[in-house]
Structure 1
């Protein structure tokens, strides 16, 4: 497309000015740009005024600096209507304006219509695509620049290297590094920073450190790029070491630099005392009450489980704005438990009472609090408030709404929330995939996973971890291995979260040796990695090994969280280690101040029940504060069946019937307890009670995945299209087994 062929722009920027509307129309540009142009109405009437290149350039640059394309579009339209032929300098400014204002379609039209281009033209478009996350288009423009025989500069290579970092393409990144060396740009600090950032994103932190050491001139961005790389891979000691070196170099930490450092402390396995040292440094500088630093301090304490310090700091703030409240709400969310989510909701109500303007971040955090606290109906009210404030298109709010409706068992509503978001990033895709996984719709989850590839986005480590975990839960090893194959091919298999999911997937599929091998290969394990391995060992009967690994985790300096303690309690349950299990349960609060949730209590109830301590288990439930959670009562009822305690079993079953009146499990278990205890008459009474209340036992379903399709079936099921062939094959196998001598069959199957 050439310069004059832009009728689409003319249609969008032609206005009808008259005496009644002229004044009101141009109030906006005057306020927005901070200056007044009395000739603005004449921009749409080229016969009334002739502008030169200097005037057009001034208009376009003002528009670029303001971040709004309105004035620039008016100037552009005026050029076209007046048949003005702009020079390359003006065209580059116009191109830069559209890129800065995120009008990339217009930018591309201007670029394609330029009769002649220089390297600035290419750099503007490359930068525009990169800043908007369109890295593939950015790379295509870079290749066009190479074919144009222009001399590429540092800004050109920066866009291409950004593509390599975002796509984890280390091979291409090294190739571009070679071109940088050949073209004599290796000593440019700007290029060095981009190269360090690229190597860090590709997981090659050692290569980034080597480049850092060889660089004579370093600025703050050089240090920050390397520190960010260490944070990304979870290298706590190296991060602190770099922070110390940066301080010794005499680089003064600004407010925003301190905020970044504290955020880094939240992202890695940093010991709490090290964070407190940084807090003391902040207090010494008198920056404790600064909004940016104070918010980062709140995040640091909350994410390290030090909620008491976070609350104390929040209370000491002389002025609390929306950002402070948002940080505190998020802090409560980082501490597991319904009580903390209730506190988060109270803060939200306090914000409303004070008349603070709620932001999308506020709504996103509060919706997550509703999910954690199971306040699902209140979450629907928040959804209505989101729509009232016209925030339903926000991708973070969309993701939180998807999670809400996933918990409500309505993935279709979650999908509608996903479809309403204006920008569907990888996080929102991951949320809607998780929505279907939570509702046991693996096929739909995989359909969305395939659609994700068609959307020109690529799954990141969290999406891949989610899919592998889902495959582990559904015993779909073949599908999980395909996902792992993509992870290996794309280079994200090196991430700790992906390794952790691989461990769980292979362990749940019975391949414990491979799970152990992957665990030993994890370069930077975290608490989640240890917890996954402990759970795997427990499920396979290696209770002692699981406890030893838990102690090793603590020796390595990791602070156990709720998930880690849950894993070790499960190990104690499977191994019948009552004393150790009770000791660990006490340690949670006494030593680590971790509040047990219903899952921890269920483990202890199960542990006591397995050893016959049924009355102790009942007392624990009644004193736990989770009396309304059916899982604990179910565990106790199962133990009542094992020990044929029909008296306690009846009491527990009646409580379960109150909590879940339509669930058949408690009726069936109580019926079995009576029959196995020889009280058949009471068992028949339970059956009669089920009939009177209309409670029916739902048939158990099994699933087998063949190819890419899951097949569900029940006992004596004939609904499958191939049921006749399946039963014929089964009968053939039964006939073959019956024809073999029983004693011979037993001898052949004996384990030596």
Structure 2
């Protein structure tokens, strides 16, 4: 029964019936129109109206206005009523205050709701329930539990809604211990037998991973309803106990309970996880939903569509979409997501998503956040950057750019486009920067070669107090691998181990790659041996790493062991094996593995596989066979193939074939400097200086610039970079003095011995030439000066090492009794006692 306040006297103003529907129109049609009422949050700043300041309605009228506002979904009426209550100094009863509190909670105005709650002179359990409910729905679980504890301390008798709200908060946060304490309070209060509370307990235990406790409650309860069965089914689906879920579903059907949309939605979700006979069960549920007339329901239809799409039956998913009588934004989103499955997405399916998006707009539907994030994903996959920019404009128009999921997709879009600045702007303009946004930023920096920026951002992430996940750790280890900075990689590895992220397979794979690319193949092998469950990526990385380090036989042994372990190789695995064959000069093995890939595993060789075969044949001196292979490979228009043959022409000083091949490469890539440089070196090595000079002149005429050689080395947790003839380093004087001293010693040895330490076929070095001050020589000399004698000198270079530097490194390794590891874009060169792991072929 509604509590009434003081009945007002004759009013001296009139509400307009269109403003407050349901109120009777005044008898006097000439009465004044609506008097604007102040906003309740700004009422203290408004100028009081003398005509109405002492007038108020009763509690019944105010309550009806507030309840009308809740039903209509618009808080306008309720706020006007609240403002009038404040204006007229009316003292509302507890019932009216609870209605106002409920209204603010329903409309999501949580701050005003809290202010009203705090100012209430008296509160009952309903007041606390409203605030607990809204805090839980908005994700403020700690605040919800704070209000729950306040209700307990206030000495109120808590009801089922209070406990349900608290249990919901525990389930959302996974706080099992607190949930158990609340369960104990429920038993003490005598509400344990209530089915409403039982359902909340089942839901809480299921969300906390204690499905067995939930099942015990379910089986021991005498009073169950449809919600109980659905909650238990959802619990089994959540942990992937699909067989238990199917048994319970059958038991529910035999109990005479009808399946509803919630039940079918949960079970269809399980059918998306590819458990045994999932398609069979999914089709059975489809038939059941048709019989019950629920197949056109949005929830069920969406579940069916997603089930078919994730099971690989996209045609069936499209049919369901077309048969929907009333297609909503939800069903459109499901269909778009169906086309964007990771194992099916291609240009054709991406175009279908663009068509669906356009159709949504033509029908006047408002795309949701999920729609925009899905469309950005499609743009990123097929690199439709122009379309992505248009979608970004629509996102800004609807003021959705602050959403973290959309923000991450936009970051990916601009980094793929190569627009680093725009990607950074999208990151900084996202107010809620979750771990996905940070991952996108770090991965974007690495993708664009900004490895230092990626590591700096990772440090910023740690200093902000956020905890990185295994994907971020994997990304920054990849940055260390690209920079070849093992010290930084070791520190990140230590952090990963300390935070229990180091045991993730994705982290260990990146760790292997980091050590291998830094020249420490022994640590990479050790990491691999310590892995409990290496996957195909782990094996592929190890095979490729050993191939790059010239350990061909180890790579072959790993490949055979991988097959014995029951792991099927992929394209990357075979690329590593073929690279090992190429670098190891194993022609027969390479051709056999190449045929095995096509015949035994039904794989189609790509241009990288074929380039390995060209390199393999070229290394063996079979230049004619290599050229014939290119012409019959289907990749004769790819410059990578011809460039591999051009490298072999240089090794065997075949100027005739080299000239023809170089002209073909230059025709395909007229602005790529590598082809000109290779041809120049072929002429230069053959002593045809006139032709070599013409190549230099041709580069100048065409505006082709050779990329400057850059070498770097990590010493003392700092990376030191060098260019050819570089004297900008603080230790340049000591570096040049040490280099001149080593060259002088080598010159004396060369005079004393009958021939140089290097093989006779290698040219003698010339003292005091520009070649002597190439970047790799400066970096190696710096390492010899600053690193202990027992530590290997690891140097990285952006270009292939020249023949003179390769010879010098062998001599330096014997002269200084040091191990020198030099990485160029093609492979690793490990110099020991005057020899190199590449066998003088690179």
Structure 1 length as normaliser, TM-score?
0.73
Counterpart for residue 442 of structure 1 = 454
Deviates more, 1:39-48 or 1:262-271: 39-48
Per-residue CA deviation, residues 450-478 of structure 1 (Å, 9 max, x unaligned), is 4775xxxx76xxx6132122133124353
Aligned position for 1:68 = 74
Q: Measure the CA separation in 1 of the matches of 2:730 and 2:155.
A: 64
Residue number in structure 2 paired with 1:55: 61
Once the two structures are superposed, the pairs formed by residues 21-420 of structure 1 within 5 Å of their partners are 35=22, 41=35, 46-47=52-53, 49-206=55-212, 208-209=214-215, 211-234=217-240, 237-267=243-273, 273-274=279-280, 275-285=282-292, 287-315=294-322, 322-334=329-341, 335-351=344-360, 358-420=367-429
Alignment of 1:328-727 (within 5 A): 328-334=335-341, 335-351=344-360, 358-420=367-429, 431-432=440-441, 434-436=443-445, 438-439=447-448, 440=450, 441-446=453-458, 449-450=461-462, 453=465, 464-475=469-480, 476-479=489-492, 481-482=494-495, 485-486=498-499, 499-508=504-513, 509=515, 510=523, 519-520=532-533, 530-536=535-541, 538-539=543-544, 541=555, 542-548=558-564, 551=566, 565-566=570-571, 568-570=573-575, 573=578, 577-583=593-599, 586=602, 601-602=606-607, 604-606=609-611, 608-609=613-614, 611-612=616-617, 614=626, 615-616=628-629, 619-622=632-635, 633-634=639-640, 637-638=643-644, 641=647, 646=658, 650=662, 653-654=665-666, 657=669, 661=671, 664-665=673-674, 667-668=676-677, 687-692=696-701, 693-697=703-707, 699-700=709-710, 711=719, 713-714=721-722
Aligned CA distance change for structure 1 residues 116 and 292 (closer, same or farther; 3 Å):
closer
Contact 2:443 2:454 in 1 (8 A): no
Render the CA deviation track for 1:262-319: whole Å, top value 9, x for unaligned: 3343356565633344344445555555544333333223233333433444455566
Q: 8 Å contact 2:132–2:147 — kept in the other structure?
A: yes
Distance 1:566 1:608 in 2: 15
Are the aligned partners of 2:458 and 2:476 in contact in 1 as well (CA < 8 Å)? no
Which deviations, in whole Å up to 9, do the C-alpha atoms of 1:110-165 show, x marking residues without a partner? 12212233333222222211111122322333343344344444444444444444
Inter-CA distance 47–711: structure 2 relative to 1 (3 Å threshold): same
1:235 and 1:640 map into 2 onto residues whose CA distance is 59
Preserved contact between residue 433 and residue 449 of structure 1 (Cα < 8 Å): no
CA–CA separation in structure 1 for the residues paired with 2:113 and 2:353: 44
Provide the secondary structure at the position in 2 that maps to 1:502: helix
The change in CA–CA distance for 1:102 and 1:676 in structure 2 (over 3 A counts) is farther
The alignment yields a C-alpha RMSD, in angstroms, of 4.8
Partner SS state of residue 586, structure 1: coil
Greater mean deviation of Cα atoms: 63-72 or 239-248: 239-248
Q: Say if 1:289 and 1:478 are closer, same or farther in 2 by CA, change over 3 A.
A: same
- Is the contact between residue 403 and residue 430 of structure 2 (CA under 8 Å) also seen in structure 1? yes
| Equivalences, count | 669
**Residue 64 of structure 1, CA deviation:** 3.0
Q: Does the Cα contact within 8 Å between 2:203 and 2:232 map onto a contact in 1?
A: yes
- What do residues 633-667 of structure 1 show as CA deviations (whole Å, max 9, x unaligned)? 54773466358674785367336625xx4x54555
Q: Does the Cα contact within 8 Å between 2:56 and 2:84 map onto a contact in 1?
A: no
Instruction: Report deviation, 1:611.
Output: 4.9
Q: Secondary structure at the match of 1:133?
A: coil
Change (3 A) 1:142 1:377: same
Are the structure 2 counterparts of residues 634 and 339 from structure 1 closer, same or farther at C-alpha, using a change threshold of 3 Å? farther
Structure 2 distance, partners of 1:536, 1:300, is 34
Answer yes or no: is the 8 Å Cα contact 1:573–1:581 preserved in 2: no
Residue 78 of structure 1: CA displacement? 1.8
**Which of 567-576 and 65-74 deviates more?**
567-576
- Counterpart contact for 1:653–1:670, Cα < 8 Å: no
**Gap change, CA 1:128 and 1:322, over 3 Å in 2:** closer
The answer to whether the 8 Å contact 1:705/1:711 transfers is yes
1:287 and 1:250 map into 2 onto residues whose CA distance is: 17
Q: CA deviation at 1:379?
A: 1.5
- Mind listing any 5+ residue stretches in structure 1 that lack a counterpart? 1-16, 521-528, 554-563, 588-595
Contact 2:471 2:507 in 1 (8 A): no
**Pair member with larger Rg:** 2
Distance 1:123 1:735, change over 3 A: closer
- Could you say what secondary structure the match of 1:474 adopts? helix
The 1:338/1:674 distance shift into structure 2, 3 A limit, reads: farther
Gaps of 5+ in 2: 1-11, 27-33, 39-48, 481-488, 516-522, 546-554, 581-589, 618-624, 652-656, 736-778, 791-811, 820-831, 836-842
Given that 1:572 and 1:607 are in contact with CA atoms closer than 8 Å, whether structure 2 keeps it comes out as no
Offset of residue 106 of structure 1: 0.7
CA contact (8 A) 1:543 1:572 kept: yes
Does the CA-based 8 Å contact 1:231-1:267 persist in structure 2?
A: no
CA–CA separation in structure 2 for the residues paired with 1:243 and 1:664: 67
Structure 2 length normalisation: TM-score?
0.66
Q: How far, CA to CA, are the matches of 2:331 and 2:232 in structure 1?
A: 29
Question: Which segment drifts farther, 83-92 or 256-265?
Answer: 256-265
Contact 2:659 2:679 in 1 (8 A): no
